[in-house]
Structure 1
Amino acid sequence: MFHPHEGQALYAPAVPAPGSMAPPATMFGNVPGYEGTLAGGGGGYLPPPMPLHPTRDPEPAPVPQDWNIPSLTEDVARERFIMYASGYCCYSNAPAKDGVITNMQAFNTYRYRLETFTESRSTDWTTKPYAGEPADFYTQTAPRPWEIPVTAPSLFQNHEENIKVPYTSSKQPCHTCSASGKMPCLECNGSGTKVCWVCNGSGSRGAESPCTHCNQRGRENCSKCNGKGNKECETCKGKKQLLTYINLKVEWKDNVEDYVVEQNSGLEVDNLSDVTGKTLFKNAQYMLYPVHGFPDPTVSQASDRLVREHQAKYSQNSRILQQQQTIELIPITKVTYKWKGGTHVYYIYGNEHQVKVPNYPATCCCSIM
């Protein structure tokens, strides 16, 4: 039998993180609970309060009864090989159809996967063009970052939300255009005209040929600003005023890490990332206990290491909502076959029966006419 063993969550100061562009924070004042929130630089990820759930004993883990996967038949191995070869225009399917299978060797391997589903919160002062929203700054005490209610997505689903913190909004003149709503056009330096590209400013196209493009002026209206010399301020969108407020960014993330037991089949471990296996063990709790007593000791060692690393790492600047660990038995079959006097191999792996051929013996160069 194998059983879990729990690690403890650790907490540490927040790590600064970048924020959105905004005017200096001095124009906003300090909001209780948001003193470290900066304009443009962000307030960093905020350490969560104490865990939502009390520490509790682990739930009994089911003991797998069947550790084996049915052997792959020769017919299936050949069928998958033929399908693989047919998928490449430059591959002849002769080796797949005519090759003689001489050996099929199973290299079933274990994959341990740990998922830690977290919620993190960060704040920064931000702005948007003012559109008549109420300016509620200091009308009431702003709720603290972790007091603001949010609806979490389904477990282990990545998601992000941006929330305007109540009672932090104020109306301010646009700092970019000095509340004019306009900015000088950079293309013409605010003049509204540019040197005519046809006559290069001379007003003529030859000794006696006037330039009709600019009517002999030597200059033409700037196309970027339609000859006005200025453009709408991109910060306030011509509104002249900005709504400034504290933005709360809430991120939910499924942090996934795998450990695959080394096997000597010759198939690289990276190939297994896109396939599934037979689930031998799976359990989810608020905080997991590492798996102990698994038949392959490297799986237990990996579980102990990863669970402790995740709980220490992700509890610093986020709230752990749920953890889940899974052990899969992934089938790998190394197929040896002979074709035209040579010996070759290919692999079939995963529940999906994916095929990997290190060196296909019958390829050609294709050209498209």
Structure 2
Amino acid sequence: MATAPATIIHGPSAPPANMFDTVPGYEGTIAGGGGGYLPPPPPSVPMPVPEQAPSSPDWHIPSISEDRARESFATYVSSKCCYSSAPVKEGVITNMESFNTYRYRLETFMESRSTEWSQEPYTGQPVDAGVQPAPGPWQIAAQPPAFFQEHKQTIKVPYTSSVKNCHFCLGMGRNPCTTCAGAGNKVCWVCNGSGYRQSDDRCMHCNGRGRENCSSCSGSGSCQCDTCHGKRQLLVFINLIVKWSTEKDEFIAQDSSGLRVENLEKVSGKELFKDAQYMVYPVRGFPDVSVAQASERLVRDHQVKYAQTSLILQQRQTIELIPITKVNYMWKGKPYVYYVYGNEFKVNADDYPATCCCSVM
């Protein structure tokens, strides 16, 4: 009878710290990333100043017709299985009010860089560590995408590649089989290790041994190392991860229409103003003071928050007018209200007077 499986002996699951050389300019780099983003170097030339704010456009407030309001109301009601169409057909519009509701949006497109030690099986790749100093993380050229498009690129840092023995298999190229714990065999599944099936009938599957060869390692007790793919050595090097991303903040001006702000987050508006440049200038002369104040605050916040860890490539600010029409109407001698808002002419009618009870218990 074969002996019991031996205890599995593995190399360390993570590369030891002394496996990686010290590379000037990359001292904080660790395996698997997580070292944080690298601050960009100070500019070698004066930073471009924001262009002056463009002349104020005509902040025109669009309005909708009574027919448009009725059509939107009818579409809304028809989408509700429990709503009667009577208020739409019989209701009389008594007043329509348009409101100034603005959405300001600031987008900052930036480039961030981080580094990590990486590894791959060594199969004869060039080894260049120490040949000459490695370029700094921000000296390596990377091709950015179009402005405001998300993208990620991984670049092998030149002059950081060296060869090390595989830490996981200790340079053996193989590890104990996890299926049989390195024994090369396991308990026979037919006789459950007894060597017999019924009474004194010898188990034919294992020839009475009670154990069978492990199919995972073909009875050898070891398998090819997954880390070095059996090559025994690893090429270790530093990867530079370049990430282009867009950070966005929005501000919706409060209005006196009575429509909840969360409804406005689901619709688009008419674009009144758009400004894109390296650094935008806070909006000036806008008729709603809160929008101008939001622009001043968010432009400042983005510079403080993102310029320390990333390279700002472009900023864009827009102002949309989200049309809101408050429609007052009478039905059966009582006043009611509904709202038509956004470019999509969405409707909100919380106090719709003709609903039926059809809830499912």
**Given the two structures, how large is their TM-score scaled by the length of structure 2?**
0.82
For residue 113 of structure 2, give the secondary structure of its aligned residue in structure 1.
strand
Q: Which residue of 2 aligns with 1:62?
A: 55
Shift of 1:138: 1.8
SS of the residue 2:293 aligns to: helix
- Which residue matches 2:85? 94
**Contact in 1 for aligned 2:176/2:221 (Cα 8 Å):** yes
SS at match of 1:76: helix
1:170 maps onto 2:157 in alignment: no
Instruction: Kindly indicate whether residue 173 of structure 2 is the aligned counterpart of residue 181 of structure 1.
Output: yes
Per the alignment, do residues 141 and 72 of structure 1 end up closer, same or farther by CA in structure 2, a change over 3 Å counting?
Answer: same
Which deviates the most, 342-351 or 173-182? 342-351
Unpaired runs of at least 5, structure 2: 1-12
Deviation by residue 1:341-361 (Cα, 9 ceiling, x = unmatched): 887654432212234454773
Alignment of 1:15-34 (within 5 A): 23-34=15-26
Q: Is the 8 A contact 2:39 2:310 kept in 1?
A: yes
Shift in CA distance, 130/274, structure 1 to aligned 2, threshold 3 Å: farther
In percent, how many aligned pairs have the same letter?
55
Unmatched runs of 5 consecutive residues or more in structure 1: 1-20
Post-superposition shift, 1:285?
Answer: 2.3
Q: Secondary structure of 1:146's match? A: coil
Q: Following superposition of structure 1 onto structure 2, how do residues 87-236 of structure 1 map, counting pairs within 5 Å?
A: 87=79, 90-91=81-82, 94=85, 98=89, 100=91, 102=93, 103-207=95-199, 214=206, 216-222=208-214, 224-225=216-217, 227-236=219-228
* Distance of 2:28 and 2:105 partners within structure 1: 37
Cα distance in 2, alignment partners of residues 137 and 343 from structure 1? 81
CA shift at 1:164, angstroms?
Answer: 0.3
Which letter does structure 2 place at the counterpart of 1:94? S
Q: In the alignment, residue 52 of structure 2 is paired with which amino acid? A: E
Q: Distance in 2 between matches of 1:85 and 1:179?
A: 73
Instruction: Name which of structure 1's ranges 148-157 and 229-238 shifts more when overlaid on structure 2.
Output: 229-238
- CA 1:192/1:358 → structure 2, altered by over 3 Å: closer, same or farther? farther
1:354 and 2:307 equivalent? no
Distance 2:87 2:182 in 1: 72
Contact 2:164 2:236 in 1 (8 A): yes
Q: Deviations over 1:251-308 (max 9, x none)?
A: 1111100010112444332333342211222212222222233211111111111111
Is 1:310 matched up with 2:275?
Answer: no
- CA separation in 2, counterparts of 1:215 and 1:364? 72
Aligned with 1:288 (options 280, 294, 302):
280
Task: Kindly report the root-mean-square deviation, in angstroms, between the aligned alpha carbons of the 2 structures.
Answer: 3.1
Cα separation, 1, equivalents of 2:64 and 2:232: 71
Q: 1:225 to 1:358 in 2, by over 3 A?
A: farther
Whole-Å Cα distance in 1 between the matches of residues 326 and 205 of structure 2?
75
- Which residue in the other structure is 2:5 paired with? none
Is 2:264 the partner of 1:272? yes
Aligned pair partner of 1:240 in 218, 232, 239: 232
Question: Alpha-carbon deviations, 1:61-81, whole Å to 9, x = none?
Answer: 131114211x22333334334
> Contact 1:288–1:323 at 8 Å: present in 2 too?
yes
**Post-superposition shift, 1:115?**
0.9
Q: Is the 8 A contact 2:31 2:118 kept in 1?
A: yes
- Structure number with greater Rg is 2
Deviations 1:314-369 (A, max 9, x none): 011111111111111111234455678887654432212234454773464589xx
Task: Provide the C-alpha distance between the structure 2 equivalents of 1:304 and 1:194, rounded to a whole number of angstroms.
Answer: 72
Q: Distance in 2 between matches of 1:226 and 1:264?
A: 78
Q: After alignment, is 52-61 or 277-286 more displaced?
A: 52-61
Which residue does 2:6 correspond to in 1?
none
**What SS is found at the alignment partner of 1:75?**
helix
Deviation at 1:227, TM superposition (A): 4.5
